[in-house]
Structure 1
């Protein structure tokens, strides 16, 4: 089996809500919700990758905190090694995304109502437990 794809995601908390992002229809897993982030480049630390990905995708700066969950999920032929980190905004809330067609601030109790991408489900279960 192929080597897992190392991915990081930001669980961005603002007050009592978390940022959920819906993947644009033309992207893989289009229409599914996820926490924003992306692939870790070779030689890059996970926190560096997350800071870079959030700046690229959402145009905002974040402070990366503790690791919340790290799970490998099989999606088709790929193995996704997703590490999700507690993250805080360093400034204003994002209002756009290069990869998503909707950004939504959701209370923890409402997370389960969204149709999440498979790799994000373990951290959603953790957050809602």
Structure 2
């Protein structure tokens, strides 16, 4: 059995709002919403990887404030192990992304109405207080 793909994501909160990012159409899961982040590289711890990924994708710095979820999702040809961390911006908010075509700030209750990438759903359910499917 192959090892899961280890991925991290940031649930970036500002003034009670949460950042959601829509994947570019040409990307895997294009057009679906996710929390920004990416793969953990060899030799990185998850927190280091997340800070690096957010800098690369969004051009902003973050401070990780806590662990939210770690879940494994069967993505067809592989399993994705996604760890979501709560985070805060260090400085200005992002205005563009290398991996996303839209960035929106939403109240937690509005998250459930978006078309989320499957690996992000457990974190969305936790943030909205909705029951798992």
Normalising to structure 2: TM-score of the pair?
0.96
Map of 2:94 onto structure 1: 94
Aligned residues: 129
Instruction: Compute the displacement of 1:104 (Å).
Output: 0.4
Which string of whole-angstrom CA distances, capped at 9 and with x for unpartnered residues, describes residues 13-62 of structure 1? 00010000000000000000000000000110111000000000000000
Aligned mates of 1:108, 1:114 — CA distance in 2: 11
SS at match of 1:101: strand
> Could you say what the CA RMSD is over the residues aligned between the two structures, in angstroms?
0.5
SS at match of 2:30: coil
Q: How does 1:6-21 map to 2 (within 5 A)?
A: 6-21=6-21
Aligned mates of 2:46, 2:81 — CA distance in 1: 12
Instruction: Compute the displacement of 1:78 (Å).
Output: 1.3
Instruction: Compute the displacement of 1:2 (Å).
Output: 1.5
Question: Any gaps of 5 or more consecutive residues in structure 2?
Answer: none
SS at match of 1:56: helix
The list of structure 1 runs, each at least 4 consecutive aligned residues, that deviate by more than 6 angstroms after superposition, is none
Question: Any gaps of 5 or more consecutive residues in structure 1?
Answer: none
